[in-house]
Amino acid sequence: MSLREDVQHPVMDLQGQHVVLTAGGTREPIDPVRFIGNRSSGKMGFALADAAHARGARVTLITTVPPPCPDVYDRVQYVETVADMREAVITACQSADVLLMAAAVSDFRVATPAAHKVKKQGQRVVLELVENADFLLELPDTFVKVGFAAETQDLLENARHKLVRKRLALICANDVTAPDAGFGVDTNRITILHATGEQEALPLMSKHAVAHEILNRVVPLLRETIRHGRQEWV
What span, in angstroms and rounded, lies between the C-alpha atoms of 113 and 65?
Answer: 22
What span, in angstroms and rounded, lies between the C-alpha atoms of 82 and 25?
Answer: 9
Does 38 participate in catalysis according to the annotation? Answer: yes
Query: Per DSSP, what are the bridge partners of residue 224?
Result: none
Q: Where are the alpha helices (DSSP H) in the chain?
A: 43-54, 82-92, 155-165, 207-227
- The angle that helices 207-227 and 43-54 make with each other, rounded to 10 degrees, is 60
Task: Give residues with Cβ within 8 angstroms of 166, minimum separation 6.
Answer: 134, 136, 137, 145, 147
Q: Which residues of 113-147 are buried (b: 16+ CB within 10 A; e: fewer)?
A: ebeeeeeeeeeeeeeeeeebeebbeebeebbbbbb
The residue annotated as part of the active site, out of 38, 132, 158, 188, is 38
What span, in angstroms and rounded, lies between the C-alpha atoms of 8 and 158?
Answer: 33
Q: Under a CB-based contact definition with an 8 Å cutoff, are residues 62 and 81 in contact?
A: no
Q: Under a CB-based contact definition with an 8 Å cutoff, are residues 45 and 54 in contact?
A: no
Q: Under a CB-based contact definition with an 8 Å cutoff, are residues 145 and 171 in contact?
A: no
Q: Which residues form the catalytic set?
A: 38
